[in-house]
């Protein structure tokens, strides 16, 4: 593609589709320096930048030996409650995103946390992901009922968040996405850090 046509296409992608530099570079093979020069008169708004930062799933390359959090956990002799570690990771993200987080009022509630998003309050169930047979993280969709495990029922939670300590990643699903699973759901890129599903 001629340089003038390449530039015109990059400007079109910015103006018509409101794409970021990285999104344009995925579609058109061009350097960031060229984009910086060509698109300086076509900036994204602060709102668009914030929206892209939190709504686009993150592509996270897993460190060969796991995340820093995972390595710290291993150095500590794998001490600590994995459930509390998962909840802390979710609470950290909620704080960064401006989501209010409150504990359930009554003991025995199925929801771990109540998340306040705008005027909505969502019941969140937080689970630590476990590594499946083939190494992919799996998030359980069953709860302990005495010595037994049973599936959740409609109304017990609105959102399921699975935390994978090894990659320091959260996976987000709404109830309708997981209601038909009986034991666990495998993590997928379309759930990776998808906090926008909550309506933020």
Mind listing the pLDDT tens digit for each residue in 36-67? 889 999 998 887 777 776 554 444 444 445 66
Beta strands in 31-186 (DSSP E): 100-103, 113-117, 120-128, 130-131, 137-140, 142-145, 148-151, 159-164, 169-174, 184-186
Average pLDDT, integer, range 127-134: 79
109 beta partners: none
Of the candidates 55, 52, 57, which has an alpha carbon nearest to the alpha carbon of residue 188?
Answer: 57
Confidence band of 177 (pLDDT split at 50, 70, 90):
very high
- Stated pTM of the model: 0.63
CB contact at 8 A, 33 and 21: no
Segment 2-26 shows an average pLDDT of 87
Q: What is the pLDDT of residue 39?
A: 92
Residue 147: the pLDDT is 73
Q: Say which residue, 107 or 163, is predicted with more confidence.
A: 163
Q: Alpha helix (H) ranges present in the chain? A: 3-17, 21-27, 32-38, 46-55, 68-75, 82-97, 175-178
What pLDDT score does 57 carry? 46
Provide, rounded to the nearest whole percent, the portion of the chain with pLDDT above 90: 34
């Amino acid at each position: 593609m001629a340089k003038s046509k390449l530039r015109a296409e990059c400007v079109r992608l910015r103006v018509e589709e409101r794409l970021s530099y990285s999104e344009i570079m995925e579609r058109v093979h061009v350097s960031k320096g060229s984009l910086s020069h060509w698109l300086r008169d076509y900036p994204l708004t602060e709102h668009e930048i914030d929206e892209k930062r939190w709504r686009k799933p993150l592509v996270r390359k897993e460190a060969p030996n796991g995340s820093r959090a995972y390595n710290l956990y291993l150095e500590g002799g794998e001490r600590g409650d994995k459930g509390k570690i998962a909840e802390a990771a979710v609470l950290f993200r909620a704080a960064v995103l401006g989501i209010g987080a409150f504990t359930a009022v009554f003991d025995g509630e199925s929801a771990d946390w109540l998340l306040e998003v705008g005027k909505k309050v969502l019941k969140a169930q937080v689970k630590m992901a476990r590594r499946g047979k083939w190494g992919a993280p799996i998030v359980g969709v069953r709860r302990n009922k005495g010595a037994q495990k049973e599936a959740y029922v409609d109304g017990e939670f609105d959102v399921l968040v699975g935390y994978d300590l090894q990659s320091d990643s959260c996976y987000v699903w709404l109830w309708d996405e997981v209601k038909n699973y009986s034991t666990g759901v495998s993590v997928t890129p379309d759930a990776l850090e998808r906090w926008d599903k909550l309506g933020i």
